[in-house]
Structure 1
């Protein structure tokens, strides 16, 4: 997170005095942010999203015919659909179930004044689809002019081209900053062939990805960090989301390497959040490999144990619901603190409890954490039924595999 911290210190968004009444109890600098759940207050239709207990988790090109199907997605932690819907989708089902839609007008039944339609999708991967950045930006400007002014936020998704060397930095910054209120990028590093490219190109990102740890959860965090750096260029921070594949993110057999493993699904989501992602969008269309599907959540509901992707869907639901349980923590402003080498961390405080979210930088094994003044005693490892003693301002823990994450809870002195 060091790349973004150095780039966005002092950038916009509500101050911690406005958002966090128990502000800066650790007397440390803060990671600049857009304001957490309060960010959505500026959009009339997104008033439900202003709750500190709300964390956005979306499904790309979902599909539903009944309220029962929507409730299944909700029990897996999905709280909004985006990308596209079947043209006959019933908006009343979204309203009755409390599900949200972030996209275009699907049919005449979609009510642009409804809280269940809080945001619009401008477009997807414009940076990789148009003959020139100027043409892509002209397209987005037309869309923004059309979509603004309805009480909805604007959301856009890009490719890895906005954080690498394929476009001029000025063009990347304009794409990311000029047309949206929430932005994401997609790069499915666990499951596509990018990590095996020769010459390798992952070291060209804003936050470089070493080839030795390319196919790890840490890369999803680095991509989130890189996008935040581009977003910070104009001094106005917006909500950053990150895409993760449910099965595989490839569009054909040529680029397919393998399916993502359940533990990797969880690790990729946690690495994104540790790097200040304010939401997750799940890409569910598996168009290559041995578990072909366009609707794995629906397949898991209908086919149960016989579905080839049942374990991935279950893991997605588990990490989604963990994030929801921690939403009030995630919606506070992070502290800037270096816990030690070869670890990736996020530090937050709420109700005089410090939370340390931690993973490795792509490796595994034992890691040592040096805590800031004000944290002492013991660290409860959330959800694991164990505690670690803090001695001389430090504690140690093990990360058996690269996708392992731990969340530590420490009472303030």
Structure 2
């Protein structure tokens, strides 16, 4: 059988001829479309040429197809070879481990300033700008100012004022006789004047308020709701103060604190004033009088029940309720050994716990009782005397933190932001979307506290402790090894 060999040049020549005829046909079509042939005879002639070219194109297409080589047929399969002997099995290689699953994506951070679902904001008692409503000189309205007072101290020299300011104090609550208001003003400090202080010269913007009396609810008497006479006496004290637009303060004691929750007379009494406090020194005083002050009936508290920082917060909470949550309540903390019967001195760790439990309980100011009537060193100037240098150092440390987070403390509570496990008391401040959580142990049991945060947060920084704790699935834990343990957390998006 003969085989026609088609060279590449044959195929190229046929394709070139085909393309030339196609080009000629296209030109003919273009001539018709552009009406270059203007009469019927010319059009017929052109159509004839087109018919001839079309025939030539068809013939050339067939020729090109015939010249194009067909693909080679697939080779026939070769017969299968005889099976080779099965070799001895070799150990199977270890399986390739499956790739590790991709880590779950981290939760989206809480959008800045966005309130998490289920969280509501509640203004501090009296409102964030409470002091602005008074027409006379009073406390600064700046969010960075948090009142920190000392009870019944003297200011006869500029050095004394400077020393107290360095301790972290900013307010004198009642003054010793030889005190000078001009030195308080020059030192950037403030004063709340007792009626005995009203004769002091140079009263000005340093004087932020007036007080009626210390523990007037116990004049006369000791326990129970104020009598009609006590109510009248206190109304007269308020009326006797200068009417110059400054707020009026009172510190109450066992009379009001021994009242049942919701007592109408106790409510009426404290609401005669613009801001209030109550003193009960759980770490140092005899326990016999403490049960009713925290609403625990008449059974005497054990030392374990009494010596708790949490009790200072309960006093603040009860006073807030008596005041109808309409005005600031300040917390009162002893700095030395105020009891003449027990001679117990407060420790630095207890000072820290009492301060922050007051704030957890809603205190809008802190006061220090500055006198030791017993103990290892009796003095009327605890925060100045070298014997109590460790107490002063602790007060300095805590007041520095208070100043650092004052805008948060003066702002709204973030209700529902944090839930703490049993045995830990916590409060959350919104702080414009950069929340602060304050937490403390409530008794003498060492425990691990567990916290659940609403919203999406990455971690908490423990203020003053140089450590950060991750928040996983909305929760974190921390250690509370002692009754006095306090942690302050900056919550991070």
| Bucket of the pairwise TM-score, normalised by the shorter protein | 0.7 to 0.9
Higher RCO, 1 vs 2 (CA within 8 Å, ≥6 residues apart): 1
CA radius of gyration, larger in: 2
SS of 1:98 mapped into structure 2: coil
Correspondent of 1:55 among 146, 159, 164: 146
Matched, 1:238 2:327: yes
Are the equivalent residues in 1 in contact too, given 2:121–2:413 (CA < 8 A)?
A: yes
Q: Deviations over 1:206-247 (max 9, x none)?
A: 9x9974432011111111111111111xxx610100111000
What residue number does 1:316 align with? 395
Correspondent of 1:346 among 427, 440, 444: 427
What residue number does 1:68 align with? 159
Are the equivalent residues in 1 in contact too, given 2:267–2:322 (CA < 8 A)?
A: yes
Counterpart-to-counterpart distance in 2, 1:23 and 1:138: 49
Report how far residue 310 of structure 1 moved.
1.7
Report how far residue 389 of structure 1 moved.
1.4
Correspondent of 2:244 among 143, 150, 153: 150
Report how far residue 394 of structure 1 moved.
1.2
Matched, 1:382 2:463: yes
Are the equivalent residues in 2 in contact too, given 1:37–1:49 (CA < 8 A)?
A: no
What residue number does 2:486 align with? 405
SS of 1:226 mapped into structure 2: helix
Within-5 A mapping of 1:46-125: 46=137, 48-86=139-177, 88-104=178-194, 106=197, 108-112=199-203, 114-125=204-215
What residue number does 2:376 align with? 290
Counterpart-to-counterpart distance in 2, 1:293 and 1:334: 38
Counterpart-to-counterpart distance in 1, 2:409 and 2:268: 28
Matched, 1:225 2:314: no
Root-mean-square deviation over aligned CA pairs: 2.6
Are the equivalent residues in 1 in contact too, given 2:170–2:190 (CA < 8 A)?
A: yes
Matched, 1:42 2:133: yes
Are the equivalent residues in 2 in contact too, given 1:365–1:400 (CA < 8 A)?
A: yes
Counterpart-to-counterpart distance in 2, 1:199 and 1:289: 20
Are the equivalent residues in 2 in contact too, given 1:375–1:411 (CA < 8 A)?
A: no
SS of 2:390 mapped into structure 1: helix
What is the TM-score normalised by the length of structure 2? 0.70
Counterpart-to-counterpart distance in 2, 1:284 and 1:198: 21
What residue number does 2:51 align with? none
Are the equivalent residues in 2 in contact too, given 1:188–1:248 (CA < 8 A)?
A: no
What residue number does 2:78 align with? none
Report how far residue 391 of structure 1 moved.
1.7
Counterpart-to-counterpart distance in 1, 2:359 and 2:370: 19
Counterpart-to-counterpart distance in 1, 2:277 and 2:384: 24
Counterpart-to-counterpart distance in 2, 1:348 and 1:167: 26
Are the equivalent residues in 2 in contact too, given 1:363–1:402 (CA < 8 A)?
A: yes
Are the equivalent residues in 2 in contact too, given 1:209–1:219 (CA < 8 A)?
A: no
User: Unpaired segments of 5 or more residues in structure 1?
Assistant: 1-21, 301-306
Report how far residue 121 of structure 1 moved.
0.7
- Length, aligned pairs only: 373
Q: Which moved more, 1:143-152 or 1:239-248?
A: 143-152
Q: Which moved more, 1:276-285 or 1:29-38?
A: 29-38
Q: Deviations over 1:290-344 (max 9, x none)?
A: 22111122323xxxxxx2x221122122212221221111011112233332111
Counterpart-to-counterpart distance in 1, 2:390 and 2:405: 23
Q: Which moved more, 1:342-351 or 1:162-171?
A: 162-171
Report how far residue 68 of structure 1 moved.
1.3
Counterpart-to-counterpart distance in 2, 1:102 and 1:200: 31
Counterpart-to-counterpart distance in 1, 2:128 and 2:122: 16
Are the equivalent residues in 1 in contact too, given 2:215–2:251 (CA < 8 A)?
A: yes
User: Unpaired segments of 5 or more residues in structure 2?
Assistant: 1-112
Counterpart-to-counterpart distance in 1, 2:138 and 2:261: 36
SS of 2:399 mapped into structure 1: helix
Correspondent of 2:286 among 169, 193, 196: 193
Are the equivalent residues in 1 in contact too, given 2:254–2:293 (CA < 8 A)?
A: no
Counterpart-to-counterpart distance in 2, 1:199 and 1:126: 19
Q: Residues 327 and 401 from structure 1, CA distance in 2 versus in 1: closer, same or farther, beyond 3 angstroms?
A: same
Q: Deviations over 1:162-201 (max 9, x none)?
A: 1324899222112211x2111000001100111xx39955
Are the equivalent residues in 1 in contact too, given 2:257–2:294 (CA < 8 A)?
A: no
What residue number does 2:99 align with? none
Correspondent of 1:259 among 345, 364, 368: 345
